[in-house]
Homo-oligomer: A and B are copies of this chain.
Amino acid sequence: MNKQLISPSYRPLYDQIKVLITQSLIGGEWRPGEMIPSEFELAARYKVSQGTVRKAIDNLAAENILIRRQGKGTFVATHKADVTKLRFLRLTSVTGDKELLENKFISCIKTKADSYISKILGVKVGAATIEVKRLLTFSGRPLIYDHIIVPAASFKGLNGAKVEESKGSMYSMYESQFGVRMIRAEECLKAVVAEKEVASALGLKEGYPLLSIERVSFTYGDKPMEWRLGLCLTDDHHYLSELE
C-alpha cells in the first residue's frame, strides 16, 4: 500500500518521517545521548514500514544528528562523548602530538546585537546578546583567541563561571546547561595579521599572520545559535579540510 498523500509539492514519505523525528528531537522527547525507539516501534507509530523509517534514520545519521549502534539501538548524538567533544575543531597539530587543550577564560559580558550579528543570528538589532572571549592553549602555549557571541534569550544565565567550568567544550556546556545542541556549522577562513589586543593575548608581535576562522553554528532546524571568530596561530598547527 502506498501511503503517499495527495500533495501539491511531492515529498517522499521518509522525508516526512524525518521531519517528525526532528520535531521530537526539538521538543526534547528524546534527549542527547538517549536511545530512541527501535525502527519497528517507530514504524508502528507512524504507520509506515520499517524500511521507510530506516531511510529517514539513515539520513539523520548521515547528518550526525543520530548515531546508530548495531545490536544496541539508535541514539541522539551529543557533544558530551569524548570522541565527539571537539567535533567542529579542525585544527590539528602538525606533529600529530596528542592535544592538551586548555581553556583560559578572558571575559563574559552582556552586549546588544549590531546589524551584522542580528543578520547572522536572526535576531533584532539591539537584541540582548552575550559575548565571551577566551584563549585556548596547547601544551601551555597560546593557540586560539576566541570571540563568541550568542543570543541571550536562548542562553539565560550564561556567565563566566559556566564558561570556565566548560573546560573548553562550549558545545557540551550549551547542551547540558541550556538544552541547545549544535548540529552543523559553517566556517569562513582568511589569513589576517594580529592586531594589538589579540597579539598581546597570544604573546605575539603585531602583524604576525593568523588564521581567522569565522564560524556560525546551527541547532535543529538550521537555526543559527552562535557566532564565533577564532584567531589561530598556525605555526605548529593546521586546519584540515576534506573535499569530496
Contact = CB atoms under 8 A, between A and B. Distances in A.
A63 interface: yes
A57 to B, nearest CB: 15
Contacts of A214: 238
A153 interface: no
Contacts of A188: 238-241
A232 B209 CA distance: 13
A232 B211 CA distance: 12
Interface stretch (A35-43, A125-133, A189-197): A189-197
A50 interface: no
Interface size range on A against B: 20 to 34
A215 B215 CA distance: 22
A197 to B, nearest CB: 17
A213 B107 CA distance: 33
A77 to B, nearest CB: 11
B189 A192 contact: no
A119 interface: no
Contacts of A193: 209
A63 B240 contact: no
A55 to B, nearest CB: 10
A242 interface: yes
Contacts of A88: 243
A244 B90 CA distance: 12
A239 B209 contact: no
Contacts of A206: none
A171 to B, nearest CB: 11
Contacts of A215: 243
A53 interface: no
Nearest to A233: B191
Interface stretch (A14-22, A109-117, A179-187): A179-187
Interface in A36-81: 63-64
A137 interface: no
A134 B42 CA distance: 56
Given A88-B243, A207-B207, A243-B90, A238 B192 contact: no
> Can you list the 9 inter-chain pairs with the closest CB atoms, starting with the nearest?
A190-B234, A189-B239, A191-B191, A191-B211, A188-B238, A191-B209, A185-B243, A209-B209, A187-B241
Interface of A: 63-64, 87-88, 90, 183-193, 207, 209-212, 214-215, 232, 234, 238-244
